[in-house]
Amino acid sequence: MTPYKAPLEGPRAQLKSELSTHASYNEWLSVSVSTDHECLQGRVGAPSKETALFSVHSSTSRPDGYVDIAADQPLHLIVSGLASAGRRCVIEFNTQFAAQGRYLLKGGIADADSGWCRVKVINADTGAALAEFETPTQVTPAPTESPSWRQFMARQGCFLAPAEH
């Protein structure tokens, strides 16, 4: 997947990953940005429209530190995780970061046995939690079901109000 690059022109914010997984060779998380803003139930951004923002293993995020990200426009973020025994989780949401703002993504794979994922979006300057997402209770999928679980915020999509400084 191509690495994400903030637009050269226009407002920017900064985002840092403090996501984590357990210290297991088979657990990882990735955060990507999609230009496809529709995250209706059963639909995920086309892989060709996604760019890699962060990859996470154990307590190490790459790239480390803050990265520039487009501000004052909707962004579709997709957090994908893989835990032991092939368990997967996907949390996707649309959000908008304020220009000059600094934000943190916290959370990660919350429980090794279930493979649950949890993500919080936090204003880095004030410490205020702006949003929190968690995958629903997960069960082994039926043979006809996808092994991924998704959390969607509304039938119309999963838009979050713009984040404020």
Whether 63 is in a domain gets the answer yes
Whether 26 is in a domain gets the answer yes
Whether 54 is in a domain gets the answer yes
Whether 72 is in a domain gets the answer yes
Report the C-alpha gap between 31 and 37 in whole angstroms. 15
- Residue 104: how many other CB atoms lie within 10 Å: 20
Whether 5 is in a domain gets the answer no
Whether 126 is in a domain gets the answer yes
Where are any strands of DSSP class E within 1-145? 12-20, 28-34, 50-57, 60-62, 67-70, 75-82, 88-95, 102-109, 117-123, 129-134
* Total count of domains within the chain: 1
Structural domain boundaries, residue 65:
12-151
Whether 35 is in a domain gets the answer yes
Relative to beta strand 88-95, strand 75-82 is antiparallel
Q: Residue-wise pLDDT tens for the chain (165 aa)?
A: 899 999 999 999 999 999 988 777 778 899 999 867 655 444 444 555 789 999 998 889 999 999 999 999 888 888 888 877 777 778 878 788 999 999 999 998 876 555 578 888 999 999 998 888 877 643 333 333 333 333 333 333 343 334 444
Whether 95 is in a domain gets the answer yes
